Amino acid sequence: MFIAKRFIHRLNAVILVFVLVSCCIFVPGLTVRAAQAEPELLWDFTDEYEDYISDPDYYVGSMNVQLDTDDGYLHMVSENGPEEGTGTGDPNVTFRVDDLDADDYYWLKISLRNHSDINRFQLHFSTTEHTLDAATNTLFDISVNDTEFKTYVVDLKKANEDSLPISKAYTPSITDEETLWTGIVTGIRLDFLFKDYPGGQVPTGTEMEIEYIAIFDSKESAEAWDPKAASEPTEAPTEAPTEAPTEAPTEAPTEAPTEAPTEKPAVSPSAGAADDGDTPAGVTANDAIESSSTSLIGGAALIGIIVAAVLVVAAIVVVIILVVKKKKH
């Protein structure tokens, strides 16, 4: 009886080890990730399927600036700088906003690369309570002469209020004492850079790139949000079904179909990542990911089978040893 109990305990231990190992091996594609809060407003300039600089759902107008999104981010080059004699160096582009509650959502997260030596970013805004004017001038500090994209989290309520003294120095008619980031936001104008009044005194040819602009309801949500994690799958891709069709076609096709297959949308490029050209021609990035994930799962399954076989053999050996010992006694 004692030997039988010991055998059962050892067998339970073997089964437990087998279950733990199997869980580690057979679920390689599953990633445990805490849910992150999504922004209330998101302009993702890395999304090749959104046309922010011509689509009227977003774009309102621009001045003193050249804009493009050809390289996977919003790229601006300033025009009409003060050195030209008649310009004030005030590059800007205005985007439409759909009913953003400024009192609930005022934490800005922005990723940008500043190629200039000007260390202040500038934007203006309009709300249901205030038009876009000098009083909505909003400034915050940024780094200069960047070689990489930098991320900033900014309290827009405070940034606008802190900018009012600078605005009043040039526009004495401003009487506001508190932030104007209140009510319902209807538009945001990116002025990119600010050096001094009048305008912004940004020299012609000054460049900046922006990856995304997002607005949240809390600082914690803004800091925790990762645009790459938001676009990545949390599970390994589902394999295509392998079952044969239920009915055979009535006729064999006489020639190859002439229509091109529907293309899968390419994976949006990660911020700062370059195309290394390793994907074969005719294979999309999604195909490469599916193939890689399937190979990983297949290899893991083979390892799991081997480990399971080893554990079964070990269990059999334990049983034989116990039986032999029992006969001796």
Tokens of 24: 């580690």
Task: Return the closest-CA partner of residue 43 out of 184, 161, 169, 190.
Answer: 190
Residue 85, pLDDT score: 87
Residue 316, pLDDT score: 76
What is the rounded CA–CA span in Å between residue 199 and residue 67? Answer: 19
> CA-based angle 83:86:88, to the nearest 5?
70
Task: Return the closest-CA partner of residue 24 out of 324, 301, 309, 326.
Answer: 301
Residue 300, pLDDT score: 54
Residue 311, pLDDT score: 74
Residue 232, pLDDT score: 58
Residue 288, pLDDT score: 41
What is the rounded CA–CA span in Å between residue 41 and residue 129? Answer: 19
Contact 201, 82 (CB under 8 A): yes
What is the rounded CA–CA span in Å between residue 310 and residue 18? Answer: 10
Residue 139: how many other CB atoms lie within 10 Å: 19
Contact 110, 151 (CB under 8 A): yes
Contact 78, 195 (CB under 8 A): no
| CATH class, 41-228 region | mainly beta
What is the rounded CA–CA span in Å between residue 142 and residue 194? Answer: 11
| Ramachandran sector of residue 257 (left: φ over 0; alpha: ψ -120 to 50; beta: rest) | beta
- Where do the structural domains in the chain lie, given as residue ranges? 41-228
What is the rounded CA–CA span in Å between residue 213 and residue 42? Answer: 6
Task: Return the closest-CA partner of residue 46 out of 23, 64, 70, 76.
Answer: 70
The strand pairing partners of 107, in sequence order, are 155, 216
pLDDT under 50: residue ranges of the chain: 21, 24-32, 234-237, 245, 248-250, 252-297
Q: Is residue 127 classed as helix, strand or coil in its secondary structure?
A: strand
